[in-house]
Amino acid sequence: MVEAVGTRSSELRARGRAALAAGQVALDTPPKDGGRWGLTALLRPTGDGLASLVDLADQASAVAGPGHWVHGAAEVHLTIRTFEAHRSVIAEDDPLLSRYRQALAAAVVGLAPFHLRLRGLSPHPRGVAVLGEPVEETADLLRLRLSKALRSDDERADGPPQRDWYANVVHFAAPLSSPADVLAWCDARADLDVGTLRFTDVEVVRWSWDGMRMRATTLDRVSLGAG
């Protein structure tokens, strides 16, 4: 059963806000093998929803100050699952990549396109996120199916399977000009309705650093069935 809209995201926001208010800030750095930003299954927003997220990223960046990773149209996303820690070299015939592709193809069988409602800005130790809530059960079911398909591989996952839905618009990568300003800016937009987005495709991407921001390269794309 889908939780009431706002229940899950309000809990996530409360945790993130409390942590940042307590001075917990975790700055991102360009990825290294064995660290964050490994192969990822994700959703990419499109249309008006994407434009709204990019605009919010620019606004959040102005409040946070210089030096942070600001996600543009090519980077903003919602993570379904991070498969593993970062690897800088991944061949097209990489056996783990093949395993992830097969698991994703199996997970989407019979699933129709689905919706996520994006509402509310949340500060957290690593940045600023727009929070999401599933409209149907499909989004959570996709994540559950993918987890089950990879159960034997769970020890390779970069942390526990993710439960929450959100799109980071800024990742902190430099000292904050004023954490209080970031908190206040997000508080004023805690209920901002960004819109309900429809997702028809799931991607597997690899991440790389281009000297200014993280870049996602699509290695596989699977379409959800019509319906």
> pLDDT per residue over 101-132, tens digit each?
999 999 999 999 999 999 999 999 999 999 99
Residue in this structure with the two tokens 């591989």, named with its chain if needed: 153
Structure confidence by residue, pLDDT tens digits, 45-70? 999 999 999 999 999 999 999 999 99
Q: Return phi, psi of residue 216, to 5°.
A: -100, 125
User: Which strand ranges, in their side-by-side order, compose the sheet holding 165-171?
Assistant: 69-70, 165-171, 127-134, 114-124, 193-199
pLDDT at 158: 44
Q: What is the pLDDT of residue 160?
A: 52
Instruction: Give the pLDDT confidence score for residue 6 in this predicted structure.
Output: 61
